[in-house]
Every structure is written in structure tokens, then in C-alpha cells.
Amino acid sequence: MQGQLEKMTTELADPVRYHLVLGEQKILLNDYIGKAIRLQHTGKITCVHCQRQIKKTYNQGYCYPCFISLAQCDSCIMKPENCHYHEGTCREPDWGDAFCFQPHIVYLANSSGIKVGITRQTQVPTRWMDQGAVQALPIFKVASRYISGLLEIAIAKHVSDKTNWQQMLKSQATPIDLLAQRDNLVALCAAEIDAISQRFGETAIELLDTANIVTINYPIEQYPVKIKSLCLIKTPEIAGVLQGIKGQYLLLDTGVINIRKYTGYEVALLD
């Protein structure tokens, strides 16, 4: 089985169902837990946008010209509070209209501890599984990515907005009372929330005070004692027993590999 690698697709089940995407092929990786596998990079890399063959990727799968020209690769995607659409300098205004001006969710998650994050409403719960969260709670629904970024910045003054990926892969995170954390954070950020609401209108922010915590279990037989990161660039063939899958990582007895990092690489799955 061989094809252009994409990030793994997920289905919220108990445990999460993971599919490895190789071009048009989708392979259910849960069936390989406890078995020896090999991932072999053929040496071919293709830009996920323009399909041009390249020597290296930027921003998880793009060639350099696409990286510097596409709105989806702009720095404001990672830091939406820096959105410059209103200044008339968006790289692709039509793309911005479709992607950024749609409902977004501000959430709390527990992956390596509590964190705040944002995602498009259509990416719930995919975003949480991609981050390896064992618990997640949507707290606000907002009208645009920019507004979600402003709320995230306010809340991040009190809790982290980052995941410690090494810690996330070492063990199951200790459960957190996300409902109590939500109520506390909403109270702490009341002034900032009110200011954003006044700026964009009352309908721009909706507090999801009746939302329930989502609990997520992953297909893991054994957590790694030490984190050894495997690299398809340095080692074109990676082999080991698949002990688990969490986030976008395969946990092998020889180390861990972030599949999403190698989007655009042509890879063969061998057993």
C-alpha cells in the first residue's frame, strides 16, 4: 500500500478509530495495534496544494511558493488575533470569507493538562482527537476566527494555550473538572468578554453553558517510557511494533512519529 501521505483521519469511537491516508487508500490502523509495521518513504514529495514535486515541505505539506502566497499558510491562521482581513491585506479574500468568517468554537481541553484552544465548528471533535485530548469542553461559539482568537488570548492569561506533546504521549492525563474550570475562567475574563461583545455585537459570542464534557479514549496498549522522535527524512524506513496511536502520532516500540509532519510525502506501509 503506497501513496501520498495525509494526516490521519479519525472517528470518535471507544477507542478512537484511526485511518492512515495514502493517496486514495485509507487503512484502518487500529487493526495493526500490537503488530510490526514499516513505513518507507520513497523519496518523492508533492505539494498538497499545487501538486508540484518538491525537495522539502513548508507548513506541513506545501511548497515554498504556496507557503508564501496562500492565505491558509499565513501566520494569522496560527495566531488569529493578528488577522489583517479588515486592513484589506488578506492574501486571498475569497478564501478568508469562506474559512475565517464561519462559526468557531473556543474550548478547553485536557491533553497534557488544561489548555484553551479554538477550532472551526465543523472541526469538532476532530481537532480534539488530533491534539490527543482525553477530555474537551466547548465554552464559546463565536462568529469568526478573529473573535475566537481574541477570546483565546484573554483566557490564555490564566491557562496554557499549548500542548506538551511529549507529556501527552507518555501517559493518560489526569481527569480535570472542566465545567468548574470553565465557570472560573468566564468569571476571570468577564471584562474582556464584555469588551469583545460590545465591539462585535451581542450575537457574535454565545456562551455554551449547557455543553457537556467529551471524553476521548485512544487505542493504546502501552505508553512509551521515553520519547524518541522518529524522522522519515533521516531514516527513510521506520519499523517497529505499533503499540498505540494518539493525536497524530504512531507509538512504536522503537519511537514515535508525527504523521501529520510528513504530509505530502509518498510513503509505503509494509508489514
Q: Where are the domains of the chain?
A: 2-66+219-270, 103-215
Q: Which residues contact 8 (CB under 8 A, 6 or more apart)?
A: 18, 19, 20, 21, 29, 245, 248, 259, 260
pLDDT at site 237: 96
Model confidence pLDDT, tens digit, residues 29-67 = 999 999 999 999 999 999 999 999 999 999 999 999 999
**Residues 115-131: what's their mean pLDDT?**
98
- Residue 144 reports pLDDT greater than 90: yes
Cα(198)–Cα(153) distance, integer angstroms? 17
Q: Judge whether residue 16 has pLDDT over 90.
A: yes
* pLDDT for residue 13 is more than 80: yes
Q: What is the pLDDT of residues 169-185, one digit of tens each?
A: 998 899 999 999 999 99
pLDDT tops 80 at residue 271: no
Question: Does 242 score more than 90 pLDDT?
Answer: yes
What confidence score (pLDDT) does residue 64 get?
A: 97
Mean pLDDT (the chain) is: 96
Asked whether residue 131 carries a pLDDT value surpassing 90, the answer given is yes
pTM equals 0.95
Question: What is each CA distance from 58 to 61, 62, 73, 142, in whole angstroms?
Answer: 6, 5, 9, 30
Identify the three-state secondary structure at position 105: strand
pLDDT band of 19, cuts 50, 70, 90: very high
pLDDT digits (tens, 9 = 90+) for 183-222: 999 999 999 999 999 999 989 999 999 999 999 999 999 9
Residue showing cell 493525536? 247
> What is the rounded distance in angstroms from the CA atom of residue 41 to the CA atom of residue 36?
17
